[in-house]
């Protein structure tokens, strides 16, 4: 596919722009040199100024008003990002694919290649087999070649991004066993979305740390699909706004050939040319990735217990959602992969 024509701005529509992922897409698109947001929906906020709901957007979008969904307006865009509930995306995506230049779905509606998994993990029957087959998984570090010709991108889950980038290179290099892998990951409260729930109110979250989704979190089959490993996944809710720290445990295939240095070497070789992945001996932290599209990785081998440990830190709203979506879109459009994205976090 020929690179996108750069002579004019790429018109962007964001469906579900009033949610946290949608707001993050607006933030990133505002600094993208080739994206121009021309349409942003937020049905529950239709008619409201975006800057009223998100004052942080005031300077970039002083006059942007959240609109109601319109297929006609969507079809006038070059690129459409969907930050909608899964079943809403399942219905809308087929109306857009091959009618606009690119569709980027941030829901899980087109992530799992096996449609029979959806009733168990998401509670609905998948009835769009053609689009499911055509969707390209939006993780450039692992699927860049496929993304270059994508018309529909399925943006990975936030936990999946953190865990898969940590584990996939070691599985591919036959360093770790594909059975008995454990992923413990903690996420900031924004991962639960903007809608107010009793479990994500300030009083419920502050000064607390809790596990949830025990044995049945819906990102489990997605992590297994990307890594090729059997995974026991336990997510945790941390009292912070943004970020994910994933701690992954696995058994080495050959302990006599495994060391901390060898693990770091495999990760370093895999990601040597990746613009947003840093592999370091130091343990990663979520704050170091705040607001960035970066992934910070480290690894250890514990000779005493025989376990491999791989750690991964990301911003759940950026690399884990909107940033990953923009990065994948850049690849599909044939433009600079880093456009609209930053590697430098906010600190302190």
Sheet strand arrangement including 244-250: 210-211, 231-237, 181-187, 244-250, 307-314, 295-302, 277-279
User: What is the per-residue pLDDT for 43?
Assistant: 84
CB 226 within 8 A of CB 181: no
Tokens 């584990």 sit on residue: 167
**What does the alpha-carbon distance between residue 336 and residue 121 come to, in Å, rounded to a whole number?**
35
Residue ranges of alpha helices (H) inside 100-210 are: 117-122, 129-134, 140-147, 158-172, 202-205
Q: In this structure, is the dihedral angle defined by the CA atoms of residues 143, 147, 153 and 155, taken in order, positive or negative?
A: positive
Query: Using an 8 Å Cβ cutoff, are 173 and 254 in contact?
Result: no
Q: How many CA atoms lie within 13 A of 262 on its CB side?
A: 15
- Rounded-to-integer distance, Cα 139 and Cα 295, Å: 12
What does the alpha-carbon distance between residue 111 and residue 338 come to, in Å, rounded to a whole number? Answer: 23
- What does the DSSP assignment read for 130-155? HHHHH-EE--HHHHHHHHTT-SEEEP
Strands (E) located in the chain = 10-15, 35-40, 79-82, 102-105, 136-137, 152-154, 181-187, 210-211, 231-237, 244-250, 277-279, 295-302, 307-314
Which residue from 170, 300, 301 is spatially nearest to 226, judged by alpha carbons?
A: 170
Q: The tokens of 254 are what?
A: 């050959």
Catalytic residue among 106, 158, 203, 248: 158
Q: Rounded CA gap, 215 and 69, in Å?
A: 36
Which pLDDT value is given to residue 7? 58
Tell me the pLDDT of the chain (348 aa) as tens digits: 445 455 589 999 999 999 999 999 999 999 999 999 999 999 889 999 999 999 999 999 999 999 999 999 999 999 999 999 999 999 999 999 999 999 999 999 999 999 999 999 999 999 999 999 999 999 999 999 999 999 999 999 999 999 999 999 999 999 999 999 999 999 999 888 877 777 878 888 999 999 999 999 999 999 999 999 999 999 999 999 999 999 999 999 999 999 999 999 999 999 999 999 999 999 999 999 999 999 999 999 999 999 999 999 999 999 999 999 999 999 999 999 999 999 999 998
pLDDT at res. 54 = 96
**Domains along the sequence of the chain with CATH:** 10-155+320-333 (3.40.50.720), 158-316 (3.30.360.10)
Q: Is 158 a residue of the active site? A: yes
CA distance 49 to 64: 6
For residue 271, what are its two tokens? Answer: 């990601």
Give the whole-angstrom CA distance, residue 236 versus residue 259: 29
Question: How many CA within 13 A on the CB side of residue 248?
Answer: 36
Q: What is the pLDDT of residue 201?
A: 85
Which pLDDT belongs to residue 197?
79
- Residue 8 structure tokens: 């004019």
Q: What is the spatial order of strands in the sheet that 35-40 belongs to?
A: 35-40, 10-15, 79-82, 102-105, 152-154, 136-137
Closest by CA to 112, choosing from 189, 210, 225, is 225
- Rounded Cα distance between 134 and 110, Å, is 9
What the block records as the tokens of 92 is 């809308």
């Amino acid at each position: 596919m020929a690179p996108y024509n750069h002579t004019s701005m790429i018109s962007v529509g964001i469906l579900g722009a009033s949610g946290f992922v949608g707001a993050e897409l607006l933030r990133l698109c505002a600094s993208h040199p080739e994206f121009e947001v021309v349409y942003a929906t937020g049905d529950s906020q239709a008619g409201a100024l975006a800057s009223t709901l998100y004052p942080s957007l005031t300077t970039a979008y002083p006059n942007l008003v959240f609109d109601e969904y319109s297929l006609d307006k969507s079809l006038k865009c070059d690129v459409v990002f969907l930050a909608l509930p899964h079943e809403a995306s399942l219905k809308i995506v087929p109306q857009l694919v091959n009618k606009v230049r690119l569709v980027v779905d941030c829901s899980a509606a087109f992530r799992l290649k096996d449609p029979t998994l959806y009733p168990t993990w998401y509670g609905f029957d998948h009835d769009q087999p053609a689009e499911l087959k055509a969707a390209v998984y939006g993780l450039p570090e692992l699927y860049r070649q496929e993304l270059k010709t994508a018309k529909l991108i399925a943006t990975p889950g936030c936990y999946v991004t953190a865990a898969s980038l940590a584990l996939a290179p070691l599985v591919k290099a036959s360093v770790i066993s594909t059975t008995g892998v454990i992923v413990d990951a903690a996420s900031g409260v924004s991962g639960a979305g903007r809608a107010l729930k009793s479990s994500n109110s300030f009083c419920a979250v502050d000064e607390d740390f809790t596990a949830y989704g025990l044995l049945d979190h819906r990102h489990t089959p997605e992590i297994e699909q990307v890594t090729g490993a059997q995974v026991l996944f336990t997510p945790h809710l941390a009292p912070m706004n943004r970020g994910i720290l994933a701690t992954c445990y696995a058994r080495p295939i050959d302990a006599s050939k495994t060391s901390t240095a060898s693990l770091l070497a495999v990760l370093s070789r895999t990601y040597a040319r990746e613009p947003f992945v840093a592999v370091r001996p130091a343990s990663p932290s979520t704050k170091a990735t705040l607001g960035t599209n970066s992934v910070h990785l480290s690894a250890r081998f514990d000779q005493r217990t025989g376990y491999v440990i791989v750690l991964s830190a990301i911003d759940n709203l950026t690399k884990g959602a909107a940033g990953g979506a923009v990065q994948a879109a850049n690849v599909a459009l044939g433009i600079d992969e880093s456009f609209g994205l930053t590697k430098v976090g906010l600190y302190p």
